[in-house]
Amino acid sequence: MPVLKSRSTVALLMVAMAGWRSVAAQTTPTERTAAGAVLKTIDSLQGALAPTGLGNRLVAARDAERDKLLARTGAIWDSEMQGLSDWIGRNPEVGWKEFRAVDTLVKVLRRNGFTVDTGSAGLPTAFVARWESPAGSGGPVLGLIADYAALRGTSGAFHGDQHNAQSPVAIAAAVAVKEEMTSRKLPGAIVIYGTPAEEIGPPAKVIMRTAGIFKGTSILVRSHSTAQTARSRAGFGICCLDINEVKYTFTGRPSHQLSSWNGRNALEAAVHFYMSVDGLRSTFRPEASIQGVIPEGGVAPNVVPDRAVADYYIRYPDGIYLEHISTMMDNAAKAAALATGTEVKIDHYGEYRDGISLGTLEETFFAYAKSLGATRVEPEQQRPAGYEETGGVSLDVPGVGVTVASSTFSNHTQGMLDDAFTTVGHTAFRADAQIMSAILYHYLTDAAFRDAVGREHAALRGLYDQYQTNLRKAYASEMEGAVP
Amino acid sequence: MPVLKSRSTVALLMVAMAGWRSVAAQTTPTERTAAGAVLKTIDSLQGALAPTGLGNRLVAARDAERDKLLARTGAIWDSEMQGLSDWIGRNPEVGWKEFRAVDTLVKVLRRNGFTVDTGSAGLPTAFVARWESPAGSGGPVLGLIADYAALRGTSGAFHGDQHNAQSPVAIAAAVAVKEEMTSRKLPGAIVIYGTPAEEIGPPAKVIMRTAGIFKGTSILVRSHSTAQTARSRAGFGICCLDINEVKYTFTGRPSHQLSSWNGRNALEAAVHFYMSVDGLRSTFRPEASIQGVIPEGGVAPNVVPDRAVADYYIRYPDGIYLEHISTMMDNAAKAAALATGTEVKIDHYGEYRDGISLGTLEETFFAYAKSLGATRVEPEQQRPAGYEETGGVSLDVPGVGVTVASSTFSNHTQGMLDDAFTTVGHTAFRADAQIMSAILYHYLTDAAFRDAVGREHAALRGLYDQYQTNLRKAYASEMEGAVP
Amino acid sequence: MPVLKSRSTVALLMVAMAGWRSVAAQTTPTERTAAGAVLKTIDSLQGALAPTGLGNRLVAARDAERDKLLARTGAIWDSEMQGLSDWIGRNPEVGWKEFRAVDTLVKVLRRNGFTVDTGSAGLPTAFVARWESPAGSGGPVLGLIADYAALRGTSGAFHGDQHNAQSPVAIAAAVAVKEEMTSRKLPGAIVIYGTPAEEIGPPAKVIMRTAGIFKGTSILVRSHSTAQTARSRAGFGICCLDINEVKYTFTGRPSHQLSSWNGRNALEAAVHFYMSVDGLRSTFRPEASIQGVIPEGGVAPNVVPDRAVADYYIRYPDGIYLEHISTMMDNAAKAAALATGTEVKIDHYGEYRDGISLGTLEETFFAYAKSLGATRVEPEQQRPAGYEETGGVSLDVPGVGVTVASSTFSNHTQGMLDDAFTTVGHTAFRADAQIMSAILYHYLTDAAFRDAVGREHAALRGLYDQYQTNLRKAYASEMEGAVP
Amino acid sequence: MPVLKSRSTVALLMVAMAGWRSVAAQTTPTERTAAGAVLKTIDSLQGALAPTGLGNRLVAARDAERDKLLARTGAIWDSEMQGLSDWIGRNPEVGWKEFRAVDTLVKVLRRNGFTVDTGSAGLPTAFVARWESPAGSGGPVLGLIADYAALRGTSGAFHGDQHNAQSPVAIAAAVAVKEEMTSRKLPGAIVIYGTPAEEIGPPAKVIMRTAGIFKGTSILVRSHSTAQTARSRAGFGICCLDINEVKYTFTGRPSHQLSSWNGRNALEAAVHFYMSVDGLRSTFRPEASIQGVIPEGGVAPNVVPDRAVADYYIRYPDGIYLEHISTMMDNAAKAAALATGTEVKIDHYGEYRDGISLGTLEETFFAYAKSLGATRVEPEQQRPAGYEETGGVSLDVPGVGVTVASSTFSNHTQGMLDDAFTTVGHTAFRADAQIMSAILYHYLTDAAFRDAVGREHAALRGLYDQYQTNLRKAYASEMEGAVP
């Protein structure tokens, strides 16, 4: 046959272009091949851990201490934190500018006995609030993540993603657990991580992770708004695609238009780079998603521009091939500078990668959510993804994102913001806090649970590395130089 | 969440980017949605027709006439056609240049009582060979497709796709059926379509179809080499992607380099068009595959080029969105002319579209193949596809491609060519001829079978049109103008 | 000979690429050809008018009234206007923002008996100050141009082009002439035009001209800083090149990066337009100077940009071929929109064209300048150019720019600003004011002079139109469509 | 003033954009500045040599030997060479394919006692024919250049530049001088250089020069068709612009369209390079002329092209800035390879540079031409240019191109070809041969003349080097890297 392939090779081609099954994180044939044995090992691991049963058993078990703790968490929410959530919701501040929210939260935390460091990792609106048990530091370090950045809307900042609730939820859980540890003389510590700018790059959590802020944490819990109560399948992935955020700054030499030959045109370089990226699209696998802007492209038309900036989001289902794309794009940027006699500075300012989901924690959260009356429950497991948006922190510390349906509207909408102030949101936030209390409680007091969580995370972390190695092998020939 | 989407929307996104299941022809979510009811109707139709049972029954039935016909077909192959197949195999000619093959085939057909017209549809190496039954023209017109073009290899023409065998196979079947019709005084006609240049564009079968060459044919059979004995599932599709082949010729105004401002640069236009296509890639769905060359880009650097040509293959899983891509690319070509003060001529010189597979014919072929000892049998049904590579003819005439495994090497290889001269190929070609005889025999003599084939084709043709209408609706908003 | 041309054709080629003589405004062979007879007619006209002799005679003539007027002008400068010049120099405001300068000037003018309208032609910092002679409106309307915009420097606004002095100079002259008209009961009027934003587009004077602001003015005088006391040759031209300032705004359709195919990318359009312009450079004559920026090229990389802006300065020695360039660039912009499925709005926001220099006024200014002790006198006549930077006003109203060397530094420098506050600048500004007084005085009182000025302007205006017609003919074949 | 410059800087700007005077070879202000003292030294040199007087004296002098020689040259032309010229004119062969012409010329030369080497410098249709005087090798080596390549016309090869005559003219002169040397026992040698492909690149004479073919030659004479009898001014230059001819070959990795990501697209690289060159145009001085084609831009649209070629002619008035352009373009080519993951091979296959014109030889030729009745005499000296089209040979060896008007049509026309067969051409060719004889005669026998020629060439060669050094200094800042 002609421009086509014969029928007997159709099957192969189909596979070559096929997509992913909805629950697996491996979306391309290369990734599925690379993941092959790894996925089977995850399945075995889950078979051995039987996390669904585990979660259900924990919830069903009679445990008066636990019940008291959940009641206390609820009471803290009702008495103080719900108001704080509403206040933040009505005083939205965009990322890197959450000064009033942070001031208020720091005050509340200090009043509740936490020692608070602000400006963590050099970020003005980050903080770390720590409480050490008087019973000693021999126990686990229980971490809670607290976001507070609002969205940038067309008419200003607004909390359409309900980040207003996350810190009050975390504080309700933390304070209740603190009281529990104090009264029962349980050793350990509680740390609340105030993480700014969740909505915009560069990703604060990656900066804080790189600065070592999360080191020593035993477990991390977090809550997030959602329109559906659902849990992830165990494994690794990210909600959508891994991302590199990269800024390319070209510097030339200015000159008046009438002697343009004395200049070196930085905009010309940026434009050529932009075209080069378009030219590379068919040299990249079709699952790549690459989008750029030129936020600085010169000001005055009568002067040869000596500065221009291109800013790109580069996405691919896995981080290895993403590296390959990034390398070729960096080469294209260097080429644009070389071609125009300019210079380029390449700033990889943000990075989102596959994170780890633990069956033990996901199923425990899910069982509690159902028992606490969560609405809009999705029975199907979702695609694995780290409990925070960058993926990276979840590779280091086992954890879970608690997501009880808190709105009938989808994320990033005015509807979701409105629900934050009504029973729809309030009830869900209260449940989030109770579930977080429960998970930390089990982790703190149930050695078998703690052990299962630890083993699962270590195993998945090992498999994750193995998967990356497999991917690197699978892409090796494609990532090679031009001519074999 | 930030640059990402929330977990509750993951499922939707996954679907949005998912590929196809291996046997369906619908590869994108849009296509699957558009096909929804259509696919169910196809399933019902197949349920009612039960073609697998039909095929098995036909093969298993005792039928001395049929057995005699198959024996005679085999004898014709053995005595004469195998030698002819080898001769063509050893005298390869590339598409549009198959003069010796056609001369030889015409002689053989005339000797066998066929009336042959050459140069059909204005194509020098096409022919139509016709035999009318002395019993009258009241019966069906049995068609057979005969290819003979060789591949263009790096060291010249070679029959790495075994097109050498197709015409001898068709003649063996046709002559045996002719004898059968003569001796049994069955009315009807036999037509062999000599179709050139199967490997290169523009597609000969589309030209012949447009010229009305296939009109009046009741059924078409054809054989093709393969490394696997497999049949298609009923429905519509194409092996890989639908294709538009388009040539864009830019015309400018020449001028000496030292007065370039008096010229209009056609190469500049072609280059801008090429860049524009790259720039559109992210405006097209990722399943699109677009690749171009600039076969004429100017000759002498001291003259402003007044002629330049870009040649593109544009592919997409369905023909409707492909039209959308084609329209935007035509606009980009017109834009390149406008931007450079040149003119553009756009020649849509080739087109491949979804064709129709019939369960009745596919399963009959498959049952015979197994009964005749075909090797490398694939139990799974394959993706639906027309029996010829352009798809179009199969929309008009019911038919089937007979593909008994004829090599242990894949298509377009030296290994497949070598197998054409040994028992591996010879045995398979003989079986192809016998299966084609059998299918034509049943169609000629079995009114119920003939009726089932006709009804299935009519139904699928109707569903095909409905599917195209659905697709057009589904893409409507995307295909609209720029600003809503 | 080969890629080259033979020696006998060298001469032609040389002409084809030759530049301009330093004093003529016609810089290309085409322009010189078009100007041929026109230039000769200008020469005849100048021969008849003998303006150098005229200027020298006027200066040399004994005229006590004139001497008194000049003394009074100097006194007004010394007593008040020098201080005002310094004050504006120390309170620089960039174009369109000269609010304090205008407030102050308006107060001074009103105090001196002028009726002032502000916000002229819809420009917030433009004004028109008018004084009607009590002797009646039968006499000429004497106009003075007053600029006040500062430069945009790297560390803020600064008066590196000494526009601080222009308004005080004009007021000194205007007030002295007003007193003269009053005391001698001369009919007529004096109008000072406050013209903002001299340094940036869109050109205020073109907007004011289009609004009819200058209608009815008999003569216009103006001063400008310079490092050399020089006058223009009679004729038409512009200091450097004619200019079109054009903004191209592309509008598309936004979409999230992950469904980019639902969007239409406006940045893609802007980038393609930018590349198209580069691609046209060799299709334009080499004297063209085209420079662009992309001040808006998208903001967020995760959304398909639905708005992008390119801003260009397009320059050519004459306005006719400039139109041709502009038309081809507009086509390229429309093409970029067509190619990308976006829309484009083209805004021709600024225009600078050849203006008219009058020998009668230039030589009179020059003779007075020398007699008043101007320094750095350049004996050679300079290229003809309108007395204001847009050229257009000078086509309607006869006038002259008075430029006594006011700095030892070149324009647009800190050195020139420093000189504005010392004797170097002060002395020159004083002389500028006196020369303006003198010219207005002669125009007002000397009918022969007035008549000569009027006839010269009318003749040159006619020749200017004829020259434009000739140019249009000369370029006709080049400006035609693509294919002959 | 605003976007413009002030009047006092106009003069400078004008100079910056001005062209050249018609007789000087320095066309840009930079070049004129660089040439400043050099041009004055040339003028002094010419003043001292007084070549016009010298030429006139030589012609006017009584010299029976010279008269006999010219008569003999004419006789050889009439009896044999005119017929040979016509024969070559009627058997045109394009560059590199002049096999029949060379065969014939070699036979004629051998018959006339020359030793002929063919295939010189590895060029199949080049030759060197040598004759050593029996009187010994102590004398000068007299060189004659013989071209024979025809033009490529739209309907095949044709001698529209009259290269058919050049070899017969040279042979007529050479044989006559040989007889003179023999009979007068003058020591020395005569060498005829058969130089192919004058019309197309790469330049044969540069290849032969590099191979050392011209070493040891004392003087070179040559003839060329023309429509005007004119001589060059002394100095250095080239008819139009210096040229670099460069081919950029990009190599990628092929892959089927449906797996384009396994390929590296060489056409993409060529297209990006092409766009980069357009993007550099405003970074080069406006006198640059750069024009390219893409003669190889891929063949089959279904395969990622792994080879693409761009071919450019790069021209600038001087060789130093031309180097700068070439370097930036080479960088752009390397950048295009880097950006696309391909490789590039850069082949600088042709080079034309300023050559040296000698007043002594030019004026002698001119005086003889007039005395021999040359028509269409141009009294003005023309722009200096080497006597052969590449410039390079004239830097090493003093020489002159003899150009008596041989047609009433311009070069590269059918009219000029027609004139080659009539009295118009025949008479001029005969005169060319006689003038060449005369020049070689004086050089051979007149020590003062030989000395003047040698001194002038040495002086100009030194000044040429000095000029190049000056240019390099003048351009130094522009040729620097991006950021100061």
Question: Cβ C1–D232 below 8 Å, yes or no?
Answer: no
- The per-residue pLDDT for A22 is 39
Chain B positions touching C263 (Cβ under 8 A) are 283
Question: Cβ B238–A4 below 8 Å, yes or no?
Answer: yes
Stretch A338-354: mean pLDDT: 96
Stretch B25-31: mean pLDDT: 81
- The per-residue pLDDT for C7 is 45
With a CB cutoff of 8 Å and minimum separation 6, the contacts of D257 are: B289, B291, B313, B315, D301, D302, D303, D304
Q: Provide the 3-class DSSP secondary structure of residue A150.
A: strand
B236-261 pLDDT, tens digit per residue, is 998 889 999 999 999 999 999 999 99
With a CB cutoff of 8 Å and minimum separation 6, the contacts of B196 are: B95, B96, B98, B102, B123, B125, B126, B147, B148, B149, B204
> If you measure CA to CA, which chain C residue comes closest to D407?
C8
Tally the C-alpha atoms within 13 A of residue B443's C-alpha that lie toward its C-beta.
29
pLDDT at C22 over 60: no
Stretch C35-44: mean pLDDT: 92
C241-267 pLDDT, tens digit per residue, is 999 999 999 999 999 999 999 999 999
Question: Cβ B298–D304 below 8 Å, yes or no?
Answer: no
- The per-residue pLDDT for C24 is 63
With a CB cutoff of 8 Å and minimum separation 6, the contacts of B238 are: A4, B25, B352, B353, B354, B355, B385, B386, B391
Question: Cβ D294–B315 below 8 Å, yes or no?
Answer: no
Question: Cβ C389–D230 below 8 Å, yes or no?
Answer: no
C342-369 pLDDT, tens digit per residue, is 999 999 999 999 999 999 999 999 999 9
Q: Which residue from A15, A20, A389 is facing B4, i.e. has the nearest CB?
A: A389
Question: Cβ D301–B245 below 8 Å, yes or no?
Answer: yes
Q: Which residue from D275, D311, D313 is facing B275, i.e. has the nearest CB?
A: D275
The pair of three-digit structure tokens given for residue C132, joined into one six-digit string: 């009607």
Chain A positions touching D284 (Cβ under 8 A) are 261
The mean pLDDT value of chain A amounts to 92
Smallest CA–CA distance, residue D339 to chain A, in Å, is 4
Chain D positions touching C378 (Cβ under 8 A) are 8
DSSP C381: P
The pair of three-digit structure tokens given for residue C460, joined into one six-digit string: 């040159």
pLDDT at A482 over 90: no
Which neighbouring-strand residues pair with D151? D158
- The per-residue pLDDT for A477 is 85
End-to-end CA separation in angstroms for chain C: 29
Q: Which residue from B289, B294, B313 is facing D294, i.e. has the nearest CB?
A: B294
Question: Cβ D301–B312 below 8 Å, yes or no?
Answer: yes
> If you measure CA to CA, which chain D residue comes closest to B292?
D301
Q: Which residue from A1, A232, A389 is facing B389, i.e. has the nearest CB?
A: A1
Q: Which residue out of C12, C13, C14 would a mutagenesis test of the D interface target, given it has the greatest number of D Cβ atoms within 10 Å?
A: C14
Q: How many CB pairs under 8 A join B and D?
A: 88
B191-220 pLDDT, tens digit per residue, is 999 999 998 879 999 999 999 999 999 999
State how far the Cα of D306 lies from the Cα of D255, in Å rounded to an integer: 8
Q: Which residue out of B294, B306, B311 would a mutagenesis test of the D interface target, given it has the greatest number of D Cβ atoms within 10 Å?
A: B294
- Give the residue carrying structure tokens 């060159």: D277
A223-262 pLDDT, tens digit per residue, is 999 999 999 999 999 888 999 999 999 999 999 999 999 9
- Give the residue carrying structure tokens 């073609």: B51
Q: C-alpha angle D61/D67/D70, rounded to 5°?
A: 125
Q: How many CB pairs under 8 A join C and D?
A: 194
- The per-residue pLDDT for B11 is 37
Q: What is chain D's alpha carbon radius of gyration, rounded to the nearest angstrom? A: 25
Say if CB A441 and CB B40 are below 8 A apart: no
Confidence of residue A481 (pLDDT cuts 50, 70, 90): low
Stretch C425-447: mean pLDDT: 98
State how far the Cα of B312 lies from the Cα of B291, in Å rounded to an integer: 6
Smallest CA–CA distance, residue D108 to chain C, in Å, is 25
Smallest CA–CA distance, residue B269 to chain C, in Å, is 9
D5-45 pLDDT, tens digit per residue, is 444 443 333 333 333 333 467 778 888 888 888 999 999 99
pLDDT at B429 over 60: yes
Stretch C454-462: mean pLDDT: 97
Chain A positions touching C291 (Cβ under 8 A) are 257, 260, 301-304
Confidence of residue C199 (pLDDT cuts 50, 70, 90): confident
Stretch B30-50: mean pLDDT: 92
Q: Which residue from D258, D260, D274 is facing B271, i.e. has the nearest CB?
A: D274
C388-399 pLDDT, tens digit per residue, is 999 999 999 999
Q: What are phi and psi of A248, to 5 degrees?
A: -115, 115
| Phi-psi sector, B212: left (phi>0), alpha (psi -120 to 50), beta | left
Chain A positions touching C300 (Cβ under 8 A) are 293
pLDDT at B20 over 60: no
Smallest CA–CA distance, residue C278 to chain D, in Å, is 5
Smallest CA–CA distance, residue B282 to chain C, in Å, is 6
Question: Cβ D334–A338 below 8 Å, yes or no?
Answer: yes
Question: Cβ C305–A293 below 8 Å, yes or no?
Answer: yes
- The per-residue pLDDT for D24 is 64
Q: In what helix (H) or strand (E) does residue A399 lie, and over which residues does it extend?
A: strand A399-402
Confidence of residue B398 (pLDDT cuts 50, 70, 90): very high
Q: Which residue from A199, A227, A282 is facing B2, i.e. has the nearest CB?
A: A199
State how far the Cα of B110 lies from the Cα of B132, in Å rounded to an integer: 13
Confidence of residue C446 (pLDDT cuts 50, 70, 90): very high
Minimum mean pLDDT range among A26-35, A110-119, A167-176, D470-479: A26-35
Say if CB C156 and CB C70 are below 8 A apart: no
Buried b vs exposed e over B172-203: b needs ≥16 C-beta within 10 Å?
bbbbbbbbbbeeeebebbbbbbbbbbbbbbbb
Interface pTM (ipTM) of the complex?
A: 0.86
Smallest CA–CA distance, residue A64 to chain B, in Å, is 33
- How far is residue B406 CA from its own chain's centroid? 19
End-to-end CA separation in angstroms for chain A: 29
Stretch D133-155: mean pLDDT: 93
- The per-residue pLDDT for C308 is 97
- The per-residue pLDDT for C481 is 53
- The per-residue pLDDT for D481 is 54
Q: Which residue out of A239, A365, A390 would a mutagenesis test of the B interface target, given it has the greatest number of B Cβ atoms within 10 Å?
A: A239
Instruction: Report the residue count for chain B.
Output: 484
Which neighbouring-strand residues pair with B313? B245, B291
Stretch B134-156: mean pLDDT: 92
Q: Which residue from C261, C477, C483 is facing B283, i.e. has the nearest CB?
A: C261
Q: Provide the 3-class DSSP secondary structure of residue C293.
A: strand
Question: Cβ D298–B292 below 8 Å, yes or no?
Answer: yes
Confidence of residue D143 (pLDDT cuts 50, 70, 90): very high
Chain A positions touching D282 (Cβ under 8 A) are 260-261, 265, 268, 304
Q: Which residue out of B6, B147, B161, B242 would a mutagenesis test of the A interface target, given it has the greatest number of A Cβ atoms within 10 Å?
A: B6
> If you measure CA to CA, which chain D residue comes closest to A484?
D253
Chain C positions touching A301 (Cβ under 8 A) are 245, 291-293, 311-313
Smallest CA–CA distance, residue A445 to chain B, in Å, is 30
Chain A positions touching D264 (Cβ under 8 A) are 283, 482-483
> If you measure CA to CA, which chain C residue comes closest to B337?
C335
Chain C positions touching A303 (Cβ under 8 A) are 291
Q: C-alpha angle C81/C83/C84, rounded to 5°?
A: 60
Q: Which residue from A275, A295, A296 is facing C275, i.e. has the nearest CB?
A: A275
- B neighbours by CB contacts (3+ pairs under 8 Å): A, C, D
State how far the Cα of C7 lies from the Cα of B134, in Å rounded to an integer: 84
Say if CB C478 and CB C41 are below 8 A apart: no
B274-327 pLDDT, tens digit per residue, is 999 999 999 999 999 999 999 999 988 989 999 999 999 999 999 999 999 999
DSSP D432: H
Q: Which residues of A lie closer than 8 Å to C, measured between beta carbons?
A: 240-241, 245, 257-258, 260, 267-268, 271, 274-275, 278, 289, 291-305, 308, 311-313, 315
